[in-house]
Amino acid sequence: MSWIADKVFNNVDDFIQWLEANFGEYISKHISENHVHHTWKPNHSNYPKYSTLQLHKNMRNTHKNSNKWDDIAQNITIGKNGDIITGRDIRKIPISATGYNGSTNWHPFAYEMIGNFDKGNDILQGKQLESAIKISRYFYKKGKSVRFHRELLMNGKQPKTCPGTSIDKNQFMGLVNDSRYDVNPSPAPSSSSQIHGGEMDKMLYQIKVNDGITGLNIRNGNSFVSPISRTTKEKEEHLVFEEKNGMYRISGHEWITASPKYVSIVVDFTKPRPTNEIRYIYTGGYAGTPLMEVHDYLLKTGHNFDVKRGMDGSLVFLIGQFDTGLQNFKDCKAFLDSKGHYNKLLIPEEAAEWRK
């Protein structure tokens, strides 16, 4: 079947079923990964004056007439209300990220979510969030990596904050791993869910499969005789949403043993978090002006830091240690956030592992 441009899907399940029926085999053989973007402009303020279809067509006009591209950059556009419009033919190389667009026979699938999801602006929530997660989960289950635009480094630095500083990658992938976001699941995820910068909510623990343990059974039910859905790899990590009958629920219906012999709690979200915690900030990689910007700031403020060279030759920093209740920590994180630099908190054990 030929790809149909500007086809409107008001339901994400209908889109995924159409995609699988017509291009499932092609995706398995030729799609390398899923790239996630936000448009920044247009954004939610353009509704309800314009429909998603009109905004999508406006983007195509800009991409063709101003950017001089052959077509709209993205394969699909996801609207504020979760509606989906088809764009660039899935069999063509997308214009997703410089250096990461692939080749004719091995390239990413890119989608744009209409909105400006940098902190303080639009919020990714409801049906738009559901559509994005379900589509990324579809590709993820086919063995395709899900990558944010800001992860696709140029000269060792983030090209943009895309898909927005308010969208936490770990939280996003926690939802992608949740089987409630399968097509036509039961029960369906709440439409009131939202992505925001900050702690992950409605979670009990973050767990890790213990060293040396492989092939641990994940079961479709809260019983050690429930059917096995898959097995784990060594050091595999999961978020826990429920604990019952000696098992942890790690997705909508998937359960794993809670025995400390096999799994360990890495983060306990149920315990009150003390005001002051020892943490490190991991940030990188950098080259050129951004490298000097971060380096000069660290020297100026007197922060302790370690440096490593990444695979692409860029430099990454491990800053700290910090007591997270102190102002120097808040100032450092605020500086990195203000510049749009990726940063992540590490506990002492993670920092020690990073230094190896």
Instruction: Look up the CATH number of the domain holding residue 218.
Output: 2.30.30.40
Which pLDDT score, from 0 to 100, does residue 192 have?
Answer: 46
Which pLDDT score, from 0 to 100, does residue 201 have?
Answer: 38
Q: What's the pTM value of the predicted model, to 2 decimals?
A: 0.57
**What CATH number does the domain containing 126 carry?**
3.40.80.10
User: 3-state class of 350 per DSSP?
Assistant: helix
Residues 104 and 151 in one domain: yes
* Residue 193 located in a structural domain: no
Please report which confidence band the pLDDT of residue 252 belongs to, taking 50, 70 and 90 as the band edges: low
Share of the chain above pLDDT 90, in %: 38
Average pLDDT, the chain: 85
> Helices 12-30 and 126-141, interaxial angle, to 10°?
30
* Residue 47 located in a structural domain: yes
Residues 157 and 35 in one domain: yes
* Residue 95 located in a structural domain: yes
**What CATH number does the domain containing 335 carry?**
3.30.70.2030
Residues 47 and 167 in one domain: yes
Which pLDDT score, from 0 to 100, does residue 191 have?
Answer: 45
Residues 264 and 282 in one domain: no
* Residue 186 located in a structural domain: no
When divided into structural domains, the chain yields a total of 3
Residues 93 and 221 in one domain: no
Domain stop point among 216, 241, 268: 268
* Residue 192 located in a structural domain: no
Lowest mean pLDDT among 42-56, 88-102, 183-197, 236-250: 183-197
Residues 74 and 138 in one domain: yes
pLDDT tens column, 22-74: 999 999 889 989 999 999 999 999 998 999 999 999 999 999 999 999 999 99
3-state secondary structure 144-209: CEEEEHHHCCECCECCCCCCCCCCCHHHHHHHHCCHHHCCCCCCCCCCCCECCCCCCCCCCEEEEE
Please report which confidence band the pLDDT of residue 198 belongs to, taking 50, 70 and 90 as the band edges: very low
Compute φ and ψ for 262, nearest 5 degrees. Answer: -115, -30
Residues 38 and 135 in one domain: yes
* Residue 1 located in a structural domain: no
Please report which confidence band the pLDDT of residue 193 belongs to, taking 50, 70 and 90 as the band edges: low
Residues 296 and 232 in one domain: no
Residue pair 46/79 in contact by the 8 Å Cβ criterion: no
pLDDT tens column, 271-285: 765 555 677 888 877
Q: How far is CA 317 from CA 22, 148, 150, 165, 286, in A?
A: 45, 20, 17, 19, 9
Which pLDDT score, from 0 to 100, does residue 12 have?
Answer: 93
Residues 258 and 293 in one domain: no
Which pLDDT score, from 0 to 100, does residue 257 have?
Answer: 94
pLDDT tens column, 216-235: 998 888 899 988 877 887 77
* Residue 188 located in a structural domain: no
pLDDT tens column, 301-332: 878 888 887 766 778 888 888 776 677 888 88
Which residues constitute the domain of residue 58?
A: 8-181
pLDDT tens column, 92-134: 999 999 888 999 889 999 999 999 999 889 989 889 999 999 9
Please report which confidence band the pLDDT of residue 200 belongs to, taking 50, 70 and 90 as the band edges: very low
Domain stop point among 268, 296, 317: 268
Residues 81 and 164 in one domain: yes
Residues 172 and 209 in one domain: no
Please report which confidence band the pLDDT of residue 188 belongs to, taking 50, 70 and 90 as the band edges: very low
Residues 142 and 237 in one domain: no
Domain stop point among 224, 244, 268: 268
Which pLDDT score, from 0 to 100, does residue 324 have?
Answer: 67
* Residue 340 located in a structural domain: yes
Using the predicted structure, report yes or no on whether residue 186 has a pLDDT greater than 50: no
